[in-house]
Amino acid sequence: MWKHTFIGGTLEFLPESITNFKYIEDENINLIMLTTAEMGITDIKTNDEFLNFKNRLQNDNEEVVNNVQGMTMIFQIISNEGTYSFKQLWQRKFKTPNTCIYFDRATKSIFIGREDGFVSVHKCLPKSNFTELDLIIELKNHFSRVTDIWYDTNMGKMYTVSNDRRLVACDVNFNSKMIEINRSVHNYTKLYSDIKTNRLFAATDGGIIELYSLDKYPPEKKCRIRISGLGYISDFSYNFINSHLFTCDRSGKISIIEVGEIGKEKISSEISQFGFKNCLNAIEYNNNKHEIITGDVNGKVIIWNIKN
């Protein structure tokens, strides 16, 4: 049974295949938003805890949970004298697996990417503390799995990438026609925005990062950056002070890329690569401590000191 452990508390007995989650500090409430897939997997159908969870999910007028292939759930994190407990606030079931989630703090909107290429947009109702969300729109932006989402609050534009090898954008508020920004020879894996310089990064499973300027719409591609080995880029993080981009890939490598200043993006290049053989799924840069934090396929979290 999948578990996610925090210091002083454990959120457990969830469906298998947690595909994505976000930790959110929103005003006076701390939240975890997560997406799941493959709830009907056979090797846990007889697990007592899972059956109890399954019974809690079912309501009188809903389909049986075995027909549900994905869910999005919101939990409140409650702290009490150094221990943590988790209160479920909201959930929605889907007939297709959920693959990624994005939360826009300004509009309190949640964007849910799905295996079938759809993106579902929900908005938290005022003063509901995330217990009530309205479905705003469902958009068919892709032909297959949505791998990441980013929403430009200022422009009201949603950007999505997929393993259909397309980067697309659309206006969520007015349901305008979807615009294809780029079609790659590789599957897209991640999006990352640099609001200070108004730029957007898109990573692929072919070791390529594309850099776009958001100064106008649709965005303009400024350059393509290659990492050594051209591995499957699974995640990246950004140091706004030194303009360094940190990537990790499924071959276990970490790359540090120096990103060129505005107008000099084409001089962006990889300045270092290190790591080991274990597949890396997540990376985060801690600017205060000059550390890189990575998570691998075996559940290890590793801290790398890069002061030197």
Tens digits of residue pLDDT in 265-294: 999 999 999 988 889 999 999 988 889 999
For the beta carbon of residue 299, count every other beta carbon within 10 angstroms: 9
| Residue 53, pLDDT score | 52
Q: Which residue has the tokens 């938290």?
A: 124
65 has a pLDDT exceeding 80: no
- pLDDT confidence of residue 61: 47
Please tell me the distance from the alpha carbon of residue 120 to that of residue 140, in angstroms, as a whole number: 9
Q: If you average pLDDT over every residue of the chain, what do you get?
A: 87
The answer to the question of residue 128 being in a domain is yes
pLDDT band of residue 147 (cuts 50, 70, 90) is very high
State the CATH number of the domain containing residue 145. 2.130.10.10
202 belongs to a structural domain: no
Q: Could you tell me the strand order of the sheet in which 244-249 lies?
A: 233-239, 244-249, 253-258, 269-275
Does a structural domain hold residue 124? yes
More confident residue, 2 or 257: 257
- Please report whether residue 145 resides in a domain: yes
Average pLDDT over residues 178-190: 96
Domain that holds residue 150: 1-183
Residue 151 within any structural domain of the chain: yes
Residue 77 lies in a domain: yes
> Residue 5, Cα to own-chain centre: how many angstroms?
19
Is the residue at 251 inside a domain? no
Report pTM. Answer: 0.87
How many Cβ atoms sit within 10 Å of the Cβ of residue 197? 15
Total domain count, the chain: 1
Distance CA 244, CA 236 (A): 10
Summarised one tens digit per residue, pLDDT across range 246-268 is 999 999 999 999 999 999 999 99
Kindly state whether residue 57 falls inside one of the protein's structural domains. Answer: yes
The closest of 135, 139, 185, 192 to 165, measured between CA atoms, is 185
Contact 13, 50 (CB under 8 A): yes
Each residue's pLDDT tens digit, 208-233: 999 999 999 999 999 999 999 899 99
Angle at 176 between CA 172 and CA 180, to 5 degrees: 95
Q: What average pLDDT does the segment 69-73 reach?
A: 92
Cis amide prior to 97 (ω within 30 degrees):
no
